[in-house]
Amino acid sequence: MSRSVLAIDIGSTKICAIIANIDSENNIQIIGAGIAKAQGLKKGSITNIELASKSIKSALADAKRVAGTDIKKATVSISGAYTKSLVSSGIVNIPNKEITLKEIERVMRTSLYNANIPNEYEVLHTLPFNFKVDDQDYIEDPLGMNASRLEVETHIITTQKSNFHNLRKAVRAAGVEVENVVLSGYASAIAVLNEDEKELGVGVVDMGGSTSNIVIHSGNSIRYNDFLGVGSNHITNDLSMALHTPLNVADSVKMEYGSLHAPNNDLIELPIIGDENSTHEVSLEVVHNVIYARVEETLMIIAQSLEKSALKEQMGAGIVLTGGFTNMVGLRELASAIFDNLPVRIARPIEVEGLFDQLRNPAYSGALGLLRYEANGYSLYEVDVNKKMRHTKNDFDGMDIPPSEEPEEIGIPTIGEPEDSAKSTTVNIGKPITPLKSKGEQEAGPFSKFWNWMTQLF
C-alpha cells in the first residue's frame, strides 16, 4: 500500500519541499516539489521564525500545487550547527540465548541511558557502529545470533533544545507538523552513497551556500559529524569586496565565470557598488584569483576537520562532495590535492522515479536524502528523534515488540527426538496440565478403582 510523505530541507540559502509516494517495497515516486529562497536563517539556524515560516510556506504551496495533494506531517532536516556528538556503549544479557529485535533495542537504549547528555540538548540520532556478541567483535548484524551477552557502541548526535524547538515552531507556523527530524549531513549521505562506499568507509561533505556539513560513514553507520560555517556565499562576498560591485552582480559573476581552471585575460564590465550607473572593467584573472583563494581556504578547513576526526585511515573510499558549492568547475582536482590525494567524487543524488531535472543538481541531495530516510534508507538500526527504534528490514515501534521468551519446552521436540513425541501433551495456560489417557487405560478404569479399594482394606 502506497503512502505519501513530505520532506522539507531547510538550507542556509534555499528551502526545498518535496512530496512523494512510497510503496510497500519502499520505491519512491516524486509527485511534487517547491523551492523558495531562505529567509530568517543564518548559517543553517533560524534567526527569525516569522520570515523562516514564510519561506517554508512558499515552498510548500508550490509542492502541494504540483502534487495536487495536501499533507500535514513532514520529515525535516536540521543543520549541524549547535550539534554535539558523543560515543556511548551498552551491554545486556541474553536470557534466551538468541538475539531478537527486543534485545537489540534494549542494548541501544542502555547505551543511550549511559550517555552523559546535557539537559539543554535533545537527542537526534542514536546510531550503532559496532556490535559485540560475547567475545566476538565487529558483528555486522547480530539479529538471530546465539549469544549470552550483547554489547554495542553508539554514535549519539544531539542538538541544542532551543535550536530544535525553533525549527519545530517555524514549520508548524507554515501549517505542517514535524513528524521526524534528520541531521542535514546524514540525509545527504543517504542520498549519494552506494553500498561499496559505506562498506569501505567514506567522508561525505555537503557544501552549501553558507555552511558545510561533514559526516564520516564507516562500517555500519556514521562515526563522526561536524559543521563548518563556510560556503559558496563567502565567494560572493569576497568578489563583491574585491571587485567593488554589488552582491547580486558578484553572485552572477561567480555563477557565470566561476572556475578553478586557468583563466584568460578577458575583461568584463561591472557596475560600481554605491554608484550603479558607473561601471569599470575587471580582468577575469582577478576573478579567478579571488575564487581560487576562497575555495582553497574552504577545502583546507574541511581537511582539518577530517584530520580531527582521527578516522582518515578508515575512509577507504575517500571523499564524496555534494551540495551546490560542488558545481564549481575544477573543484574535484583541487580537493584531491588538498585531501592528500584521497579519491574524491562529486556526487549527485541517486536517481528516483519522477525526479525533476532541477532536483538532479547536487544542491538537492539533502532533500532527496530525507525521502530515502522515510523509505527505510537509514542505518541498519537507529533510535530516532522520537525515541522510536528503527530497523531497515522491519520498521517497528519498540513498545510493540513481542516478548522474546523462549517457547515452552512441553510439546517441542529436542534434537534427536521424533517430532510426533511433541504432540503428546497439550498446554492450557493457567490450568494444571493433565496427561491424556490411552484407550486401554480408560477401559481399565473401574477395575483399577476396585483393586485400589481392596488393597487399602487389607
- pLDDT band of residue 189 (cuts 50, 70, 90) is very high
What pLDDT, on the 0 to 100 scale, is given for residue 458? Answer: 44
pLDDT in tens, 432-455: 333 444 444 444 444 454 455 444
- Residue 429 scores a pLDDT above 50: no
- Residue 274 scores a pLDDT above 90: no
Taking the C-alpha atoms of residue 104 and residue 140, their distance in angstroms, rounded to an integer, is: 13
State the average pLDDT over residues 195-199.
Answer: 90
Residue 182: which of 398, 382, 31, 397 has the closest Cα? Answer: 382
- Residue 400 scores a pLDDT above 60: no
**Percentage, residues of the chain above pLDDT 90:** 72
Please give the mean pLDDT across all residues of the chain.
85
Taking the C-alpha atoms of residue 369 and residue 357, their distance in angstroms, rounded to an integer, is: 16
Taking the C-alpha atoms of residue 347 and residue 204, their distance in angstroms, rounded to an integer, is: 9
Q: Which residues of 231-244 are buried (b: 16+ CB within 10 A; e: fewer)?
A: bbbbbbebbbebbb
What pLDDT, on the 0 to 100 scale, is given for residue 97? Answer: 92
**Percentage, residues of the chain above pLDDT 70:** 86
Q: Are 366 and 77 in contact (CB under 8 A)?
A: yes
For the segment(s) 196-346, the CATH number from 3.30.420.40, 3.40.50.300, 3.90.870.40, 3.60.20.10 is 3.30.420.40
Give the residue ranges of DSSP H helices in 309-409: 331-338, 365-374
Lowest mean pLDDT among 87-101, 163-177, 412-426: 412-426
Q: Which of 65-69, 220-224, 272-276, 397-401 has the highest mean pLDDT?
A: 65-69
Q: Which residue ranges make up each domain of the chain?
A: 196-346
Taking the C-alpha atoms of residue 407 and residue 415, their distance in angstroms, rounded to an integer, is: 15
What pLDDT, on the 0 to 100 scale, is given for residue 218? Answer: 87
For 84-126, give the DSSP string: EEEEEEEEEE-TTSB--HHHHHHHHHHHHHHS---TTEEEEEE
What pLDDT, on the 0 to 100 scale, is given for residue 421? Answer: 36
What pLDDT, on the 0 to 100 scale, is given for residue 245? Answer: 93
State the average pLDDT over residues 141-157.
Answer: 95
Taking the C-alpha atoms of residue 448 and residue 293, their distance in angstroms, rounded to an integer, is: 105
- Residue 45 scores a pLDDT above 90: no
532527496: which residue's cell?
368
pLDDT in tens, 283-332: 999 999 999 999 999 999 999 999 999 999 999 999 999 999 999 999 99
What pLDDT, on the 0 to 100 scale, is given for residue 20? Answer: 96
How far out from the chain centre does Cα 313 lie?
A: 23
Residue 107: which of 95, 92, 94, 117 has the closest Cα? Answer: 92
- pLDDT band of residue 212 (cuts 50, 70, 90) is very high
Computed from CA positions of residues 94, 99, 102, 108, in that sequence, does the dihedral angle turn out positive or negative?
Answer: positive
- pLDDT band of residue 456 (cuts 50, 70, 90) is very low
- Residue 267 scores a pLDDT above 50: yes
- Residue 403 scores a pLDDT above 90: no
State the average pLDDT over residues 3-12.
Answer: 94
Lowest mean pLDDT among 97-111, 158-172, 369-383: 369-383
